[in-house]
């Protein structure tokens, strides 16, 4: 009995040791913020993104760092689009608002009653009783 208890305690201690080493490995990555700041390429990228953000706010919706020549070309291209597509007064730089509507579904089955089908059919030739017997499907072909 005592050996079983000691075996269970040693297994529990081994489990606790494994969990502790795993948690220590995960938390070590989180605590090493100093190494993340040492990456010069990442730091340069973040500086450029922040700089562009400041410039775009200062430009007020226009092109960032564009010369008057580039702005003139943009205006010419937008005027060309207005002429080609008759888009006067519409902002062609914005994404269009798409409104899709589902069409009403129709049931796939066709309801036809025998009375309505017979009402639309008119016989082309009026058959007499002798002619209708000739069309009997149970009559053998050699007796016709």
Residue 15 lies in a domain: yes
Range of the domain at 22: 1-30
Residue 68 lies in a domain: no
Residue 8 lies in a domain: yes
User: What pLDDT does residue 112 have?
Assistant: 65
Residue 134 lies in a domain: no
Residue 1 lies in a domain: yes
Total domain count, the chain = 1
Burial of 81 per CB tally in 10 Å (0-12, 13-18, 19+): middle
Residues 67-95, mean pLDDT to the nearest whole number: 85
What is the Cα–Cα distance from 95 to 78, expressed in whole angstroms?
15
* Tens-digit pLDDT profile for residues 43-73: 899 999 999 999 999 888 788 888 899 999 9
Residue 96 lies in a domain: no
Residue 62 lies in a domain: no
What is the Cα–Cα distance from 64 to 69, expressed in whole angstroms?
13
Residue 107 lies in a domain: no
Supply the pTM of this predicted model: 0.34
Higher pLDDT pick, 53 / 19:
53
* Tens-digit pLDDT profile for residues 99-128: 999 888 877 777 766 676 666 666 655 655
Residues 76-84, mean pLDDT to the nearest whole number: 88
User: What pLDDT does residue 116 have?
Assistant: 63
- Give the helix ranges, DSSP H, for the chain: 2-31, 33-36, 40-59, 68-85, 114-120, 129-134
């Amino acid at each position: 009995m005592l050996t079983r208890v000691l075996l269970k305690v040693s297994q529990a201690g081994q489990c606790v040791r494994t969990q502790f080493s795993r948690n220590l490995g995960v938390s070590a990555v989180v605590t090493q913020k100093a190494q993340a700041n040492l990456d010069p390429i990442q730091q340069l990228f973040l500086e450029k993104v922040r700089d562009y953000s400041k410039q775009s706010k200062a430009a007020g919706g226009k092109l960032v760092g564009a010369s008057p020549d580039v702005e003139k070309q943009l205006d010419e291209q937008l005027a060309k689009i207005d002429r080609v597509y008759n888009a006067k007064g519409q902002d062609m730089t914005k994404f269009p608002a798409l409104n899709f509507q589902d069409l009403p579904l129709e049931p796939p089955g066709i309801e036809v009653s025998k009375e309505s089908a017979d009402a639309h059919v008119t016989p082309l030739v009026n058959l007499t009783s002798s002619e209708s017997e000739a069309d009997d499907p149970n009559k053998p072909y050699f007796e016709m």
